[in-house]
Amino acid sequence: MLAAFAAGRRLGRHSVVDFAWGPAFVLVAAVCLATATGDPLRPALLLALTAVWGTRLAVHIGLRSRGSGEDPRYERLLSRAPGDRDLYALRVVYLLQGALVWLVSLPLQFAAHAPGPLGWWAAAGAALWLLGFAFETAGDAQLAAFRRDPANRGRVMDRGLWAWTRHPNYFGDACVWWGLFLVAASGGPWTLLALPAPLVMTYLLTRGSGQRLLDEHMRGRPGWAEYEARTSAFVPRPPRPPRCP
């Protein structure tokens, strides 16, 4: 995160922290494997899963933000800075996200020292990870294709996975982290102490900086009220039929 801060300060936009989010977990997973004292297969599997997830996320964010300026979210946040904007960003953006990386990566850390062999919990976790990864990848690809079409300018994305949930990328991300937790939990009962990690990530995706803030940002746009009324906020389900007038 300190390296990301240096890059953000040099580029003049602190939204680079979003690009660093995924690779930060990959780095944690790599260190966990290098320092593992338990069954090495578990941290190796977690590194592979985390690397695929983190690399895709970084590439997606990098392509999406290419050629753009500061993210409006960070612009609003830094406009309230009491003093130097860069130092304020260091405290409330980079160091805070660094602390979250440590907390959310607890399953990776615990798994490095779990003696038990991989079993059914690990298989279930890998399957849940795959579901989440496919969901967020497909959701992001569908949204990107929708935005590239000039005919969709000003319209609400309500097709594909976005017809089943208003946030397929956030739902997929939650499944990814619950899957990684299950892989770690296959190492024995004491690894359940890492449970706060997926709980915190799910909270952030639903009530923190994810679903809640984006829904508030979209309210008032043409077609959003109807879309919100018929579409699940998070967990996918078939869209509700239109209300009778």
Residue with tokens 């850390």: 109
pLDDT at position 205: 93
> By three-state DSSP, how is residue 61 classified?
helix
Q: Cα-Cα-Cα-Cα dihedral of 162, 165, 167, 172, to 10°?
A: -100
Query: pLDDT of 164-201, one tens digit each?
Result: 999 999 999 999 999 999 999 988 888 889 999 999 99
pLDDT at position 119: 86
Query: pLDDT of 205-222, one tens digit each?
Result: 998 777 887 888 788 888
Residue 232 pairs in a beta bridge with 165
With 0-12 / 13-18 / 19 or more C-beta atoms within 10 angstroms meaning exposed / middle / buried, residue 239 is: middle
Distance CA 211, CA 61 (A): 17
Distance CA 165, CA 236 (A): 5
Residue with tokens 């290098």: 34
Distance CA 11, CA 13 (A): 6
- Beta strands, E only, 72-204: none
Q: What string of pLDDT tens digits covers the 245 residues of the chain?
A: 999 999 999 988 888 999 999 999 999 999 999 999 988 999 999 999 999 999 999 999 988 887 777 777 788 888 888 888 889 999 989 999 999 999 999 999 999 998 878 889 999 999 999 999 999 999 999 999 999 999 988 899 999 999 999 999 999 999 999 999 999 998 888 888 999 999 999 999 998 777 887 888 788 888 898 999 999 999 999 988 766 55
pLDDT at position 211: 83
Contact 170, 205 (CB under 8 A): yes
User: At a CB cut-off of 8 Å and minimum separation 6, what does 196 contact?
Assistant: 103, 106
Residue with tokens 């892989």: 183
pLDDT at position 243: 62
